[in-house]
Structure 1
Amino acid sequence: MQQRFRKPLFVSVLASSILLASCGDAEQNAQDAAQQQQMTVGVVTISTRDVDLTTTLPGRASAFRVAEVRPQVSGILEKRLFEEGSMVTAGQQLYQIDAAMFEADLASAKAETARAQAAVKSTKSRFERSQELLQDKAISQQDFDEAEAAYLQAEAQLKVAQANLARAELNLEYTQVKAPIDGRIGRSQLTEGALLSVGQSQALTTITQLDPIYVDIAQSTSDYLALQQAIADGRIETDSENRAEVTVQVGENRNFSTKGELLFNEVTVDPQTSAITLRARLANPNHAILPGMYVRAEVGTGNLKNAILAPQTGVSRDPRGRAIAFVVNSKGEVEQRYLQVERTVGTDWVVTDGLKAGDQVIVEGLQKIQPGMPVKTEEVK
């Protein structure tokens, strides 16, 4: 009889345990639901605004002007009159070439000019007298013609002498080799005593103008065409001359910054890189940017109207690389959205699809939420 009652007792104990466990699970689920309902997340409410767009592109600096100094007359180099690496101004004398031979040529040209002037004076008097005598029929027509021809020939010789005099003066002036432009002068390639000749291939020195300075920027054809299409569609506005502002920062800490404007873009595409070259002119008062230096230029591309910006902290990527964001919908529940993003502006993404003005994007508490969960919102400034 005792064995008959042991089995029902065991069944009743087991049933009680199951009942208690189910009650515990229900209480836990209720607690979890209560916690979910009470969870607060930080959100940013999306609004539209106009944005000034910029693009960072690689570029290489080139000098505003470069002049190779060469002699314009032949002779022996006597003096160097500048300090290598210094700043020079246009018209400043750099070298002195031996001028003795050119001074002699100038004296000879002056004497020839004086003789021609005397010949003109003599023949002119004879010609004027011949005119009076011809009217009185005191001389023949042939004598008059000879006097006139002599006078005209003397005038022609005077012009030749004056041209030779001007050439001699110019050659003497060329013995003073002067700077053609303002800028920083390089090292001298020849020293005193060197024989110089007109048209020599070796330059005496080189002058480089560094302020302002050019920066040649490379932009891909795809970005260029996309920008032109956005301008044509009216999404991006530019000024009438399309003179975009360009900013360049150099130095390890980017402690030097200079601004300029975009001048033009090339009409051809580099077949090796499929890039279009843009040229910008920038102020370079401290000569911090040197020709050949590689820089990164920030180019203004226009103004984007009614842009939708989403904070980068609220946008992530799924395993397939798609941009996603979690928003709080009208029911107060978490909703996952797939976004189309175009570029970054500061700490925000420019969103072209997936969000609209008034949406609340979750930026805080993302680790504890999942789609469909009811949440409370708190605006993050």
Structure 2
Amino acid sequence: MKNKLFKLLIVLMILLFLFVSCARKTSNQQTSSSNYTEYVVTRQNLTDSLTVYGTLNARKVAEVRPLVSGVVKKVHVSKGDTVKAGDILIEIDDTDYRLAYIKALQNYESAKLTGSKLLLQQRELELKIAERDLERCTVKAPIDGVVVSLDVTEGSIVSASTIVAKIVNMQNLYVSANVDEIDYSKVSVGQFANITFDAFPNMGFSGRVSYISKEAQTAGGITVVPIEVDLLTGQQTISAERRQQMMQRFQANVPSNLPQNISPETLQQMMQRFSSTQRQIQRATDENLIQLIPGLSCQVEIIVLNKPNAIVVPTRAIQFEDGQAYVTVKVNEKTEKRLVKLGERTSAGYEILEGLEEGEVVLVPVTQRTTTTSTGTGTIFNPFTGPQMRIR
């Protein structure tokens, strides 16, 4: 009887040992799997941007000076008026200048009778100067634009160096900004940008990098590189070539999504609506541009990288060993360590040039942060979107 009880006790201990071992193995597997998230490899547009802050400026700004002295006889414009190059801004009393021109003309005619070539040349130059000064009494706009300041009234006394008005052309606007030296190598002329203004938070504008300084500037221990970003008009944003490409793409793709018996007239009407939409976008862009004025502060998001149809994995999915990059791939409930070739690195992760195919599953380690709670510790972070769940 004692032997039977002893044998039964031995069997129970063995079963208990096997149960504990299996439970521990299962627990380890669950703990291991909870330390990773599965990322399905897909193709996507790989983009990266750089944000800087700047101020809107005008390419064409003219400070108007009369270049002659005198009393303002008449003012033809007001502050805020739109003018064309050649429009009269002010007139200066020209009585003295007309008298000087008449005397110079008389002296020139008299010199022609003397036969002296040197005297004739002198009188001719004096006549040209008198004629020039007489013309300068009528001060004209040197460029198209808006009169943003007018500092004279009728009866004002001006000199040749007096700034009587300031004209700003609103058609060619650009943003002046500074790029940190760390990001300098990412920026190049021709890159497109998205521009938003504090004054118009619900409006977005397109821009293009047009200038990068060849000299860095340092102030307060910070080194930056000045750049300029041109503001694009509606026509530039949707260029004729771009519209043609979009129309060709429309013609190539839309018929496959339409009934086979669609009439040519219906297709033509759809194409016309498509073209009309592009014109509306262009017109809306130009209407919004009219509201912008130099001096406004803005945020510029420069598109420094744009690669379509790229394979990208989260940064934490990459493991480096001996200067080579690896990822852990899940294959039929098993995992394998695979060598990959990296391309661009962005805030979204690494571009994979070789080693992975679309649809494969990559294991991504999650970051755990220890916290003190009554139910458990640790937080799992999604590699792209941040904290997702708590381990309890």
In the alignment, structure 1 segments of 5+ residues that lack a partner are 1-13, 120-149, 229-241, 316-325, 371-381
* Aligned residue among 199, 210, 235 for 1:262: 210
**Distance (Å, rounded) in 2 between the aligned partners of 1:178 and 1:218:** 36
Q: Tell me, what secondary structure is at the counterpart of 2:130? A: helix
Q: Paired residue for 1:45?
A: 41
Q: Paired residue for 2:160?
A: 198
Q: Paired residue for 1:83?
A: 78
Structure 2 counterparts to residues 50-61 of structure 1, below 5 A: 51=46, 53-61=48-56
Contact 1:63 1:208 survives alignment (8 Å): yes
Per the TM alignment, residue 277 of structure 1 is displaced from its structure 2 partner at its CA by 1.3
Letter in 1 for 2:192: V
Per the TM alignment, residue 74 of structure 1 is displaced from its structure 2 partner at its CA by 0.8
Q: Paired residue for 2:189?
A: 243
TM-score, normalisation: structure 1: 0.60
Deviates more, 1:157-166 or 1:73-82: 157-166
Matched, 1:72 2:67: yes
Encode CA deviations 1:55-102: one digit per residue, 9 max, x unaligned: 332232222122211221111011111121122222111011111111
Change (3 A) 1:254 1:333: farther
**Distance (Å, rounded) in 2 between the aligned partners of 1:249 and 1:19:** 72
**Distance (Å, rounded) in 2 between the aligned partners of 1:219 and 1:188:** 36
Matched, 1:224 2:224: no
Contact 2:82 2:147 survives alignment (8 Å): yes
C-alpha RMSD of the superposition: 5.0
**Distance (Å, rounded) in 1 between the aligned partners of 2:29 and 2:312:** 34
Per the TM alignment, residue 342 of structure 1 is displaced from its structure 2 partner at its CA by 7.3
**Distance (Å, rounded) in 2 between the aligned partners of 1:192 and 1:262:** 43
**Distance (Å, rounded) in 2 between the aligned partners of 1:156 and 1:218:** 58
Contact 2:149 2:167 survives alignment (8 Å): no
Relative contact order, higher structure (CA 8 A, sep 6+): 1
Encode CA deviations 1:280-330: one digit per residue, 9 max, x unaligned: 322355244433322222324355699541369x98xxxxxxxxxx96523
* Aligned residue among 287, 294, 297 for 1:294: 297
Letter in 1 for 2:350: V
* Aligned residue among 178, 183, 206 for 2:145: 183
Letter in 2 for 1:207: I
Q: Paired residue for 2:110?
A: 115
Contact 2:94 2:137 survives alignment (8 Å): yes
Encode CA deviations 1:354-378: one digit per residue, 9 max, x unaligned: x952351469xx99xx9xxxxxxxx
Q: Tell me, what secondary structure is at the counterpart of 2:170? A: strand
Matched, 1:104 2:99: yes
Letter in 2 for 1:210: M
Q: Paired residue for 1:208?
A: 168
Q: Which has the larger radius of gyration?
A: 1
**Distance (Å, rounded) in 1 between the aligned partners of 2:82 and 2:58:** 15
Deviates more, 1:53-62 or 1:80-89: 53-62
Per the TM alignment, residue 249 of structure 1 is displaced from its structure 2 partner at its CA by 2.5
Change (3 A) 1:34 1:185: closer
Q: Paired residue for 2:229?
A: 280
Identity over the aligned pairs, expressed in percent? 23
Q: Paired residue for 2:134?
A: 172
Change (3 A) 1:163 1:333: same
Q: Tell me, what secondary structure is at the counterpart of 1:271? A: strand
**Distance (Å, rounded) in 1 between the aligned partners of 2:294 and 2:87:** 23
Encode CA deviations 1:113-155: one digit per residue, 9 max, x unaligned: 33333x1xxxxxxxxxxxxxxxxxxxxxxxxxxxxxx6x41x3
Contact 2:64 2:166 survives alignment (8 Å): yes
Encode CA deviations 1:23-43: one digit per residue, 9 max, x unaligned: 99899899999999xx9x974
Per the TM alignment, residue 267 of structure 1 is displaced from its structure 2 partner at its CA by 1.9
Q: Paired residue for 2:244?
A: none
**Distance (Å, rounded) in 2 between the aligned partners of 1:53 and 1:244:** 15
**Distance (Å, rounded) in 2 between the aligned partners of 1:207 and 1:277:** 25
Between the two proteins, the alignment pairs up a number of residues equal to 302
Q: Paired residue for 1:349?
A: 349
**Distance (Å, rounded) in 1 between the aligned partners of 2:98 and 2:28:** 107
Per the TM alignment, residue 194 of structure 1 is displaced from its structure 2 partner at its CA by 1.1
Contact 1:307 1:350 survives alignment (8 Å): no
**Distance (Å, rounded) in 2 between the aligned partners of 1:34 and 1:214:** 59
Q: Paired residue for 1:147?
A: none
Q: Tell me, what secondary structure is at the counterpart of 1:164? A: helix
